[in-house]
Structure 1
């Protein structure tokens, strides 16, 4: 076996070389070179057949044979003499492209297995993907107030009008066409998010296309969304599939389902070439919506039964003025004086009815006094800017130039996030602090001030929110394409930073901030001066480019930010950049298991992100990093049968209490000597704490430490196993600012202090085994989200009043539960309810018809009787979206 282990990697590498040779021949071949084209494939077949013990040899042999047959078919067609030379050339080029994609897939699988110690594919850097996010400058309420309700109604009717007129069950495409900034995305999104629309279609996908997306990338992003209802059905080898395999997999899955797919910002009709297989006409009334600036793109979809075009035009004068004043005025419902309104009309005229320009200008005016003099001054500046005849609208240049210098740097930082990606709020805040953009303000932490900067950019409508947490906070954000053009121009002019994509050329040698996006070049840093780079991101990097980077990291003496999230690396160089400069180090979702000893030199490090790595113990040197503010170190168990505790934390060295500036610490393992729990009492600035493997005797020590954490916003505590009680009753006083509480483990009783949390927004109880009326006591809390997961042993859940703010209710594995009853004024704001694996719950919750705001019901592995009663009883007829998962049925309204 040892000999086999040595030989197999060499054979795999030999196969890779043969595949590469085949691709080279295919690219250069003439029409009479079939023998030379087939020779590498024959050699591969020999290698595979001679070694049946090689993993997957039979499967690969079949795939190689299929490629051989396709090459032969291509030559046969070319020698038949039919068709024009141009047509033959185009057909050949298309076939070669597809063959090479299939060969690439086999090469990737072989390369991953060539090293027997590395059997995992590289992590995907999907953290910033913009798909299914809301990058809109307007809220739905503002859309409704703009006089475009007729267009919304037209799209909505087109989506919902299925089953009436002949042909309504056929696949149809709508193309929404309009110039940049006119609000195409906003219009489509406002319909896409309607509960009736969400309920009409079983599968949904929103994909931002753009000019540079590859076929495989788009198909993979569609797959990730349409498989949400049945994630277990998604193939395990998604990352190594070529475009034809992806298209075929998605197409077969959607073959018997009604789906809605939005392709946002399409630049080329080539998108239809491979989507025809992936998005079939299932006869279920499926719909595709395309937003584009090019009117002919939608019409190029030849395989849809019908293509409609909706031209989205700018707003009229009245709606433009209304939108501008809504954004610019500090008072709601008041009419400005005539002189101010006259100036406003002149400003609005410069915006040409484009919502993007109107909200940007309105955001600027919201910072000005509501006087004619102040507004006239802005109008004069706008006209002078317009006279410069800039390539982009003067409004956007003025909106940028009006920013204070501290906000300009924060705004330009979005250059590092590609156009189809979004930036997480928490990461953005830490990055701005690490870069030194944030000025210290009395009574505020640097992070609080950075948050204020972000909200100011959002208020000015230069940054748009792409996602919110359920408890209301911004989760991620991005910038519109037209504003990105401003950013690109200023970054080039000021040498602020650059983003290197797979097709980009060289970057300037003295670049200061650099992000790489899916680049496959291993020399992209060759011409960059290490003495100038302050910030380096790796997004979706290849193994080649990452290894090139690791070799030269020690040369980057002035590096402040190093972000390797998702990069295929399993080690860091022994010597890291000079500790006097590095402030931010992210190794999230890498395969790193050990930190180098030189880590102790990073005395000014503020953020160390080890989430998703294999690091299980933090070295003693970390206690010397007394500037650290955010320490994230945990990963989730990813096997098929997770243990009781599936978030794996890290052990801390003695002396962790010296890190007095720590604000976030997750997850740490409780030590048997309670030393870690005692030291936590010194971390009084903590805002988030996660601790695991607690024993019943640890409760008093932990509570004594947490009581001193007056700034704590989030607390997660887990016992060591399902039989170990979580004794937290002695916490006094409870952190009054606490917003999120996650408890995992048996609770002898519900701690009384929980009921005193007046700021609590989210509570998740797992394996709590509460009894009696314990859950009823929670009704006084102001929570937005409540999750009970194996948390209650009772037979009845009786909600009589309270939960006045509750919007999301999740009930999971309450095996004794037979009845849910809603009475009185309980849960008046709930809009989403999820029931999972409650095997004794066979009837619809009593009183569900009282929940007038309920928009979604999701059932996972629930009894058939429950499903039948929900469908037939009529009590939930007012709920637009009802989903049943893992039971091969859909009862959408």
Structure 2
């Protein structure tokens, strides 16, 4: 969880520096330095996460890193919110020179500098708690010759994985034209490579592609060597002669060769045992999305997940993906759309049986999923402990839920009213799974200024106050199935809103202010 929090805040910093550069003038240097410091500590977090039995000292250190990541996220969101509010009342070219603004920038910069000192001070504690290096063990990876042997395993020797194997073959052979990245995640020795090899060797699968390549990735892979291997494998799959001077080619030439070769071909690629998230970034530029239905399969041991729905709730695939994107859980990968990356996350969860498919679309892809009750309870327990999120279902006192000061809240009971949650000012996501009447006041909404996702599907709410426009950070708004008949004009102020669902409501027309919503990319009516 701490590793995921750090990954998320690094993504937020990078995104902020790229997209909010004007607003962040004066604190961007501090943010970039913090990003570098956090990057250097990611490996130690992964090492700590691998320890089955963490000492109390290690747990304390990991918790401190997580809490620091949360502080940084809060500061960025608060400062961006403050600067946006200033824009509403000040002439744009004078914003950055007002004494009040300069004072606020100085305050934030000072806080960031203090956080940076805290991060650096963690090194001493890290060494004290014994997380001073990445510890390897013989079960962390299979030798390459053992991994490649999976390609020669007979079909009858593969035991189990019937459902997973069927799902993989369906994903590889469906009619979807976009290039699709399919990730298979699991610990070493869990059968990932064998499962993928079974699908890869299937003649029905191979007949769907013009060329194919299987690449086993070592932990110390060289980018250019991977590209050369791809070229050789593609040519050999078509019994074509490989270029004689391939060994002399550099990165630019190799990319051009691959793009030219694959431009008009439907291809299949397996990247087996990818440890590094940068692997995909390093080579995807050479694998064009030519909209011919190409597929890329990646086996890996990396995982980062989370989800918050009521028991036995049927989760719509598109809804879950939009929520992940809104929350910033989807890592930015060059030239790959966030929705494609999120789709690969979903496939990981399904292949690992963490989500169960309850309905598929006409292409055989998941349409609705649900989480097993036991897994849900385990996930909620971890989530609560890690201050990730909490569910209020009436089983605990409401004050206990509020005391967590968590970042995600799922309300699943009619007891109490929304006003009682007004002190949870750090919320990033709010789900309301009740069918009784609920209402939001302008005062309540002003307390949720950092909210990224607001899900009111099927809630009995008929009026949205003008205060909705204060939710500057909002990326996702779901009003599906509510009796809402009118959107407030202030909705135009939600310049970060990416997804809006008003299907099955009483809304007949949109206010003209929606044209001001610069980032709206998904509108369901």
- Structure scoring higher RCO (CA < 8 A, sep ≥ 6) equals 2
Which structure shows the bigger proportion of residues in helix conformation?
2
Greater CA radius of gyration, 1 or 2?
1
Q: TM-score range with shorter-chain normalisation?
A: 0.3 to 0.5
Give me the TM-score of the superposition, normalised by structure 2.
Answer: 0.43
Give me the TM-score of the superposition, normalised by structure 1.
Answer: 0.26
Which structure shows the bigger proportion of residues in strand conformation?
1
